[in-house]
């Protein structure tokens, strides 16, 4: 079968292949990428994993669609294609898929049914949003509530619609807190009901990471993988560990419990109402004391597994919270309302929430040995919550190949750092393997592909003598720190210089930074992405010539900003700062505690590995940001980096690791980079060779 697929793929992607005959281009890397996907599909059953990176310009999407559909043609075996964003699924359904189907028709092959399957966790429940908006009545929550009401009736109803167009949800929210669940009314989201009516398994299924991971996590037949499918291909797979964390970790706010109990008042007897009122008053008092503790200590979390005075105080507050939740849970079960309840519905969801709190940090809890239980506070509004952090949140993903008997391919434009000349004995993509518990002998294919020639790039770096971006001692722990006014002025000057040559995309690390830059760029009327603002609308305004600058913290990935006819629009990308990911002290302490319990790893090394994970995540995001500029073979542009910590080719610093975010084909451009000194003044990053020495070189 491998030979058959290889032969046909060469006929499609070869120098004189079907794509070229249809007016396309022969891309050698795309052919090799497609052959690697075929090798994964037909590989040894003892090596079920494929890890294949296709950098921008490789033609990755067609590179896997052709072999996956041809594999079905020749074997009848079904594959699931799972993406992180709904936008990529829509791109496949409305664009790339038609070309593959056209080939199949020309070749006389049957054409498979390709369907999109999304579960209830992808759709917003406006009623749940309304309850949360009552708990936290802020402007951001009001905007989110308005969107939920509108989207459920007249839009897609998908949570991803908000995430991809407006950015992160308001503080304290997560998808699992606002999505449809079994207790939601059937008419909560008409868009979800319309999607459910499709009801087709399909020969090839397009779905989300979350749908596949739910089946791996629960082993419930959500997609019925063992019966219906033999392979799962994850695109945007660099996001898979983050998706796994949302299923493994959990946070519950006392305020959420209070609001859920308030919704039950008036539905049962007067006696039950008295119990509910007493519970809400008691829980409100506990919530206020927990919040005060967080404000006094100025911490983001307190582990319950330690032996300090702070830990004991936190544990006493949690125990008090648990006792009250257990009391009202018992009253609900004994009430007529509780006895009449079924195994689903709103009351069932409330009781499940109370049960989770009651079991939190209990010895009998099966999770207790695999993570840390803590009191946590949101960084800005200091909203308290119970938090569980799993030790290895991505480990359950291996259920897909170990128990559900799937071949699994991980692909993305950014699976790891740019290709090394000589990878170590652990192979490529080591951080991703560690996050998903992929064994050394489990991979059939490990490859990185990038076009040898794809666009032209110039590079302008910040002068290392310029002020640092933040007023903080720790250069990599930047969450909540204050921007340096001197650096802000420098970054504004660099952006103004970049705009002189054409439309510019400015990538920031936060909305606050975007707002600060926007104020200082007011004279050139930038489009500034603010919370609740639709990124798609801003892009259309940029395309319409309303401004020459778009400033956003949400355009690092998943966006390809082109002209209205597909031509190049963006001439410059300005990356304001190295996008250091915020530290996770809970994860660091958890890694150290688990290492201390075992002999094979010291706590210090465990902490170092956690820090390396954060550096790797930063590198991936930096690669994605750089990839926003050159999107086509004919594109040309300039990459500007306003962070003086990013080194030039002649420097060796602790941040030299991040140079690997630059595609290898652009290393010569990086080597010849210029430094931005001030408006109208650039200088070479490398000092010119003195004429006396140049004479000897020219001999």
Buried b / exposed e over 222-250, threshold 16 CB at 10 Å, is bbebeeebbbbbbbbbbbbbebbbbbbbb
Q: Which ranges of 437-584 would DSSP assign to H, the alpha helix?
A: 485-499, 511-520, 535-543
Lowest mean pLDDT among 122-131, 316-325, 470-479, 648-657: 470-479
Return the percent helix, strand and coil in the chain, to nearest 5: 50, 15, 40
Cα separation, 351 vs 344, whole angstroms:
10
> Positive or negative CA dihedral for 349, 355, 361, 366?
negative
Q: What is the pLDDT of residues 236-261, one digit of tens each?
A: 999 999 899 888 888 899 999 999 99
Q: Which residue has the higher pLDDT, 583 or 617?
A: 617
User: Burial, 318: exposed, middle or buried (Cβ in 10 Å; 0-12, 13-18, 19+)?
Assistant: buried
Q: What is the C-alpha separation between 25 and 454, in angstroms, rounded?
A: 12
**Inter-residue contact 283 to 385 (CB < 8 Å):** no
Per-residue pLDDT band for 696 (boundaries 50, 70, 90) equals very low
Range 271-284 average pLDDT? 96
Q: What is the mean pLDDT of residues 62-89?
A: 95
Is it the case that residue 481 has pLDDT exceeding 80? Answer: no
What is the tens place of the pLDDT at every residue in 36-47?
999 999 999 999
Q: Which residues pair with 232 in a beta bridge?
A: 80, 408
pLDDT category, 478, cuts 50, 70, 90?
low
Q: What is the pLDDT, as a whole number, of residue 598?
A: 57
pLDDT level of residue 603 (50, 70, 90 thresholds): low
106-115, 346-355, 672-681 — which one is most confidently predicted on average?
106-115
Residues contacting 608, CB < 8 A, separation 6+: none
Q: How far apart are CA 593 and CA 368, in angstroms?
A: 13
pLDDT at 602: 67
User: Is the fold of 28-118+201-245+394-449 the same as that of 456-684?
Assistant: yes
Closest CA to 615 of 349, 363, 431: 431
| CA–CA separation, 668 and 646 (whole Å) | 17
Rounded to a whole number of angstroms, the distance between the first and last alpha carbons of the chain is 58
Residues 560-567, mean pLDDT to the nearest whole number: 90
Sign of the torsion angle spanned by Cα atoms 83, 89, 95, 99: positive
Say yes or no to pLDDT of 697 above 50. Answer: no
CATH class of 456-684: alpha beta
CA dihedral 81, 540, 630, 462 (to 10 degrees): -120
pLDDT of residue 396: 92
Span 133-139, mean pLDDT? Answer: 84
Is residue 313's pLDDT more than 60?
yes
Number of H helices, E strands in the chain: 28, 19
What pLDDT, on a 0 to 100 scale, did the predictor assign at position 599?
Answer: 57
Q: What is the DSSP letter of 92?
A: I
- Asked if the model's pLDDT at residue 361 lies above 90, the reply is no
Give pLDDT, residue 208: 93
C-alpha span between 520 and 493 (Å, rounded): 10
d(CA 23, CA 225) in angstroms, rounded, equals 38
Contact indicator for 123, 158 with CB cutoff of 8 Å: yes
Q: CA-CA distance, 502 to 576, in Å (whole number)? A: 18
Domain locations in the chain as residue ranges: 28-118+201-245+394-449, 250-390, 456-684
Higher pLDDT, 665 or 606: 665
Domain 28-118+201-245+394-449: assigned CATH number: 3.40.50.300
**From the centroid of its chain, how far is CA 266?**
41
Strand partners, 114: 204
Q: Is the pTM of this model over 0.75?
A: yes
Average pLDDT over residues 468-478: 65
Average pLDDT over residues 104-111: 96
User: Can you give the pLDDT at residue 422?
Assistant: 47
Place of tokens 């309303």: 546
Mean of per-residue pLDDT scores for the chain: 88
Q: What confidence tens digit (pLDDT) does each residue in 201-238 have?
A: 789 999 999 999 999 998 888 889 999 999 999 999 99
| Per-residue pLDDT, 173 | 84
**Cβ-contact 26, 53 below 8 angstroms:** no
Average pLDDT of span 362-375: 65
């Amino acid at each position: 079968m491998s030979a058959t697929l290889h032969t046909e793929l060469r006929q499609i992607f070869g120098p004189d292949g079907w794509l070229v005959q249809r007016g396309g281009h022969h891309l050698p890397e795309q052919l090799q990428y497609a052959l690697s996907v075929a090798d994964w599909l037909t590989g040894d059953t003892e090596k079920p994993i494929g890890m294949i990176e296709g950098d921008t310009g490789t033609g990755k999407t067609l590179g896997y669609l052709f072999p996956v559909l041809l594999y079905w043609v020749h074997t009848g075996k079904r594959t699931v294609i799972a993406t992180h964003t709904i936008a990529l699924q829509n791109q496949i359904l409305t664009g790339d898929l038609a070309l593959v189907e056209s080939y199949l028709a020309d070749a006389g092959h049957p054409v498979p049914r390709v369907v999109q399957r999304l579960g209830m966790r992808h759709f917003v429940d406006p009623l749940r949003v309304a309850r949360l908006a009552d708990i936290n009545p802020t402007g951001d929550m009001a905007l989110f509530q308005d969107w939920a009401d509108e989207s459920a009736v007249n839009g897609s109803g998908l949570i991803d619609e908000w995430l991809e167009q407006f950015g992160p949800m308001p503080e304290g929210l997560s998808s699992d807190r606002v999505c449809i669940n079994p207790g939601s009314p059937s008419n909560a989201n008409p868009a979800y009901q319309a999607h459910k009516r499709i009801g087709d398994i399909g020969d090839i299924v397009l779905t989300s990471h979350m749908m596949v991971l739910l089946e791996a996590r629960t082993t419930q037949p959500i997609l019925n993988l063992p019966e219906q499918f033999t392979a799962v291909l994850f695109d945007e797979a660099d996001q898979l560990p983050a998706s796994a964390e949302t299923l493994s970790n959990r946070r519950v706010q006392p305020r959420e419990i209070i609001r859920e109990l308030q919704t039950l008042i008036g539905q049962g007897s007067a006696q039950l109402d008295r119990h509910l009122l007493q519970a809400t008053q008691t829980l409100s008092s506990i919530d206020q004391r927990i919040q005060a503790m967080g404000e006094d200590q100025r911490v983001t979390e307190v582990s319950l597994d330690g032996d300090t005075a702070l830990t004991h105080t936190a544990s006493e507050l949690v125990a008090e919270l648990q006792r009250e939740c257990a009391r009202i849970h018992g009253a609900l079960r004994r009430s007529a309302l509780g006895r009449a309840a079924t195994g689903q519905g709103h009351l069932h969801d409330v009781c499940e929430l109370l049960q989770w709190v009651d079991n939190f940090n209990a010895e009998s809890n099966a999770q207790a040995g695999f993570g840390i239980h803590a009191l946590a506070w949101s960084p800005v509004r200091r909203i308290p919550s119970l938090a569980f952090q799993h030790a290895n949140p991505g480990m359950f993903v291996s259920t897909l190949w170990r128990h559900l008997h799937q071949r699994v391919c991980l692909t993305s434009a950014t699976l790891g750092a740019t290709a090394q000349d000589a990878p170590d004995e652990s192979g490529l993509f080591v951080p991703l393997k560690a996050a998903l518990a992929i064994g050394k002998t489990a991979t059939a294919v490990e490859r990185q592909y990038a076009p040898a020639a794809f666009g032209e790039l110039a590079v302008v770096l910040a002068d290392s003598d310029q002020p640092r971006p933040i007023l903080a001692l720790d250069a990599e722990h930047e969450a909540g720190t204050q921007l340096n006014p001197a650096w802000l002025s420098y970054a504004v000057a660099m952006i103004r210089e970049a705009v002189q040559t054409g439309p510019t995309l400015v990538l920031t690390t936060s909305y606050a930074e975007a707002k600060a830059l926007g104020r200082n760029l007011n004279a050139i009327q930038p489009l500034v992405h603010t919370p609740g603002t639709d990124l798609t609308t801003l892009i259309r305004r940029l395309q319409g010539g309303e401004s020459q600058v778009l400033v956003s913290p949400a355009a690092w990935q998943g966006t390809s900003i082109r002209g209205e006819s597909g031509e190049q629009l963006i001439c410059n990308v300005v990356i304001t700062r190295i996008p250091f990911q915020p530290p996770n002290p809970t994860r660091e302490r958890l890694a150290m505690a688990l290492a201390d319990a075992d002999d094979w790893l010291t706590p210090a090394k465990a902490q170092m590995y956690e820090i390396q994970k954060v550096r790797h995540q930063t590198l991936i995001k930096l690669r994605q940001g750089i990839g926003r500029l050159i999107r086509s073979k004919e594109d040309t542009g300039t990459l500007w980096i306003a962070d003086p910590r990013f080194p030039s080719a002649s420097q060796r610093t602790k941040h030299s690791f991040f140079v690997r975010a630059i595609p290898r084909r652009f290393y010569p451009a990086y080597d010849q980079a210029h430094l931005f000194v001030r408006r109208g003044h650039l200088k070479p990053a490398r000092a010119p060779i003195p004429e006396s020495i140049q004479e000897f070189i020219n001999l």
